[in-house]
Amino acid sequence: MRPEFKEDCKYADEIHEDVKEVFTKWMIRYGLDVPEMDEDLAARLILTEMRKKLEELEARYCGDVCDTQPPSCPS
């Protein structure tokens, strides 16, 4: 297995958790700034901004779409 795939297997859960933490951070911040906030709308706005940046990074590093699937990670 390529070393990059080993690293992906090693850190995938942490990356997912970090993404959730960033999303949660912004949901809290929106809630502090707008107490009567519509949480569904705020979530969609935040996710849209996150997606814009991910698309920019994909264009830079993947030529538009990163669809690299590592082989199954060992248990």
Taking only the tens place, the pLDDT of each residue in 9-63 is: 889 899 999 999 999 999 999 888 777 889 999 999 999 999 999 999 999 999 8
Confidence (pLDDT) at 68: 80
Q: Which residue has the higher pLDDT, 75 or 25?
A: 25
Rounded to whole angstroms, how far apart are CA atoms 75 and 33?
43
Give the closest residue to 50 by CA, choosing from 23, 27, 31, 13: 23
Centroid of chain to Cα 64: 16
Rounded to whole angstroms, how far apart are CA atoms 9 and 12?
6
